[in-house]
């Protein structure tokens, strides 16, 4: 294997992570999560996350270097998430990355977190085919992206008009009395439930919605439907089956995510699809998408679940791609951009 040795730092939300790659080869990906500190609040508390990044950054860096069996003197470039994300969290990673690049006198790249979620599949399956349709589903974003070049030519084809898919998972988990983050626990509960038990709505699939929002998503109606269902059961004194509600909710999310993504491929003449973001770890989404892509003649790429959630390797591999494409490094003065678009 060859290519630049890139160290990537990710700190946009509640994971402090350092990844090291050589070109497209994964050498280390250490993640320290502060999720347990946030669990009792039912969501990420920004101030708590920032402090946790500050504590975890250097130990995580040291673990990643040891795992990759290298030292800082060998590193060719530093890549870091510059946005989008929580401002106080981004600032910790950016400060660490700028300092390292300045002291080591190596190029510095401030990169987009969302693009990193798409790029990470390169570590599992090699360079991305183009064009490729990316379904990016995370805690803060739900987007369909037409990617012609991962280092700079990306168009948004569709997006959520309200909640992100991961946000819906987290809110529904709370309604069901399950812990935060909701995605993994709902995924697990759904294994023992009946996906046909409750007919939850599929957002923006009615004909009048499709005219205006062909490839857009909406999950707030689904979340409200789950809330109504739980309220009604409580009022009527009929206990609900958490497993059945989880399975039915998960089916509704997977159904609309996969349906619109496959339709977009067909309509835009795109033959390849790639999944990215924390919700791409979802077992039902992964299998249903594989089934529907196969039927539609679309080749699907799914990064291993451990690479779907936030991690430093996704930023490192995007950095390696950017370097190999000959893009100029970023200035050491760039700010954190909490609302950075793709
Ligand atoms: O990409 P990510 O790690 O962070 C953001 O950039 O937001 O995504 C986190 C989201 C959370 O909402 C979490 O509940 C969801 O991904 N998630 C899942 C699963 N694992 C994580 N959602 C559904 N099924 C899963 N297995
Ligand atoms: Zn993310």
Tell me: the pLDDT tens digits for 89-113?
A: 999 999 999 999 999 999 999 999 9
Ligand nearest to the CA of 43: 1
pLDDT tens readout for residues 238-278: 999 999 999 999 999 999 999 999 999 999 999 999 999 99
Q: Indicate whether residue 309 lines ligand 1 (CB < 6 A).
A: yes
Closest CA to 302 of 79, 82, 135: 135
State the residue range of the domain holding 13: 5-120+311-324
pLDDT tens readout for residues 12-45: 999 999 999 999 999 999 999 999 999 888 889 9
| 292 and 315, same domain (yes or no) | no
Q: Indicate whether residue 251 lines ligand 1 (CB < 6 A).
A: no
Ligand nearest to the CA of 163: 1
- Asked if residues 258 and 285 have their Cβ atoms less than 8 Å apart, the reply is yes
| Cα 106 to middle of ligand 1, angstroms | 33
Ligand nearest to the CA of 281: 1
Residue 1: predicted pLDDT: 63
Ligand nearest to the CA of 191: 1
Phi and psi (nearest 5°) for 30?
A: -95, 130
Residue among 111, 136, 223, 279 to mutate when testing ligand 1 (max atoms within 8 A of CB): 279
Distances (CA, A) of 100 to 2, 20, 222, 318: 23, 14, 45, 18
137 is annotated as contributing to ligand binding: yes
Q: Indicate whether residue 278 lines ligand 1 (CB < 6 A).
A: yes
Q: Indicate whether residue 184 lines ligand 1 (CB < 6 A).
A: yes
pLDDT tens readout for residues 148-172: 999 999 999 999 999 999 999 999 9
**141 is a domain residue:** yes
| Cα 251 to middle of ligand 2, angstroms | 22
Q: Indicate whether residue 257 lines ligand 1 (CB < 6 A).
A: no
Alpha-carbon torsion (41, 42, 43, 49), positive or negative: positive
| 148 and 218, same domain (yes or no) | yes
**228 is a domain residue:** yes
Atom of ligand 1 nearest to the CA of 173: 14
Q: Indicate whether residue 33 lines ligand 1 (CB < 6 A).
A: no
Enter the pTM of the model. Answer: 0.97
Structural domain total, the chain: 2
> Could you tell me the CATH number of the domain that includes residue 76?
3.30.420.40
| 319 and 233, same domain (yes or no) | no
Distances (CA, A) of 151 to 112, 161, 336: 10, 26, 19
**337 is a domain residue:** no
For the complex shown, is ipTM > 0.90?
yes
| 298 and 150, same domain (yes or no) | yes
Residue 308: predicted pLDDT: 98
**329 is a domain residue:** no
94 is annotated as contributing to ligand binding: no
Task: Give, as residue ranges, everything with CB less than 5 Å from ion ligand 2.
Answer: 138, 310
The Cα 13–Cα 44 span in angstroms is 8
**201 is a domain residue:** yes
Q: Indicate whether residue 142 lines ligand 1 (CB < 6 A).
A: no
Question: How large is the average pLDDT for residues 293-310?
Answer: 98
Closest CA to 215 of 268, 179, 252, 174: 268
- Asked if residues 3 and 25 have their Cβ atoms less than 8 Å apart, the reply is yes
| 319 and 263, same domain (yes or no) | no
Residue 39: predicted pLDDT: 87
Q: Are strands 25-33 and 272-276 parallel, antiparallel or unpaired?
A: unpaired
Question: How large is the average pLDDT for residues 295-316?
Answer: 98
Closest CA to 64 of 86, 51, 50, 79: 79
Mean pLDDT of the chain: 97
Residue 165: predicted pLDDT: 98
192 is annotated as contributing to ligand binding: no
Residue among 89, 164, 169, 175 to mutate when testing ligand 1 (max atoms within 8 A of CB): 169
């Amino acid at each position: 294997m060859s290519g630049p040795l890139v160290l990537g730092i990710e700190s946009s939300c509640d994971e402090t992570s350092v990844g090291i790659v050589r070109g497209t080869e994964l050498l280390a990906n250490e993640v320290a999560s502060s999720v347990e500190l946030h669990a009792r609040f039912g969501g990420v508390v920004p101030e708590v996350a920032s402090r946790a990044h500050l504590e975890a950054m250097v130990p995580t860096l040291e673990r990643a270097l040891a795992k990759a069996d290298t030292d800082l003197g060998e590193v060719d470039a530093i890549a870091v998430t510059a946005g989008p994300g929580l401002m106080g969290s981004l600032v910790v990673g950016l400060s660490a990355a700028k300092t390292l690049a300045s002291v080591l006198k190596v190029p510095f790249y401030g990169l987009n977190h969302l693009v990193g979620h798409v790029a990470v599949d390169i570590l599992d399956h090699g360079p991305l085919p183009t064009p490729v349709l990316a379904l990016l589903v995370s805690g803060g974003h739900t987007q369909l992206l037409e990617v012609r070049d991962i280092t700079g030519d990306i168009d948004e084809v569709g997006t959520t008009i309200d909640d992100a898919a991961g946000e819906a998972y987290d809110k529904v988990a709370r309604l069901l009395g399950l812990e935060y983050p909701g995605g993994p626990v709902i995924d697990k509960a759904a294994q023992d439930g009946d996906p046909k038990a409750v007919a939850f709505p599929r957002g923006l699939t009615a004909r009048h919605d499709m005219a205006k929002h062909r490839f857009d998503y909406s999950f707030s109606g689904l979340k409200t439907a789950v809330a109504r269902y739980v309220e009604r059961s409580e009022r009527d004194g009929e206990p609900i089956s958490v497993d059945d509600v989880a399975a039915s909710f998960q089916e509704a999310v997977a159904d609309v995510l996969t349906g619109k993504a496959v339709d977009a491929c067909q309509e835009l003449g795109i033959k390849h699809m790639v999944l990215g973001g924390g919700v791409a770890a979802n077992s039902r989404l992964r299998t249903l998408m594989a089934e529907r892509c196969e039927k539609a003649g679309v080749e699907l790429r799914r990064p291993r679940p451990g690479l779907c959630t936030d991690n430093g390797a996704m930023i490192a591999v995007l950095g390696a791609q950017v370097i190999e494409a000959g893009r100029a490094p970023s200035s050491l003065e760039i700010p954190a951009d909490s609302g950075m678009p793709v």
